[in-house]
Homo-oligomer: A and B are copies of this chain.
């Protein structure tokens, strides 16, 4: 493999890994207002337990079906919900780029999110897999859909910020 096909493949991998890194940086640096901007206008965002995901059950912890719902969520999280503050830190491996059909790129990546509460040590918070559909726009790559499938159902009563 060489030439334009290889260049396209390398570029797509680069851009998806940079998309993930920028997404995580926005969340970890608490620039929550920027979070919906990683999605298409009709983008979907779901946080779902692995057991439900694997059985095709509909129950999800969070399920948002437009950028407007995401902005609403951000407003709630930053302005109205009373909750104990915590920092997050995402570590994500290089994404698997699984294919491209009709302008939708399918990609997945394993993530680990660490949480740090004030005065406490850092701890494993939420680990799982991003399952993504990504669209190329003039402004760069955007998520048509991101599903965060997490391994543990514990701790999640306190999941406030997006994963």
Contacts and interface: CB of A to CB of B under 8 A. Distances in A.
Interface residues of A, number: 52
B151 A89 contact: yes
Identical copies of this chain, number: 3
Interface stretch (A17-25, A37-45, A71-79): A17-25
A43 to B, nearest CB: 22
B112 A21 contact: no
For the residues of A in contact with B, the DSSP-based class is mixed
Contact of A93 (B11, B21, B152): B21
16 contacts: A6-B11, A10-B10, A18-B96, A21-B94, A50-B87, A87-B151, A89-B129, A89-B151, A91-B110, A91-B111, A116-B127, A119-B153, A121-B154, A121-B155, A122-B151, A122-B152
A95 B14 contact: no
B14 A152 contact: no
A14 B21 contact: no
A145 interface: no
B94 A110 contact: no
A146 interface: no
Contacts of A6: 7, 10-11
Interface in A26-64: 28, 50
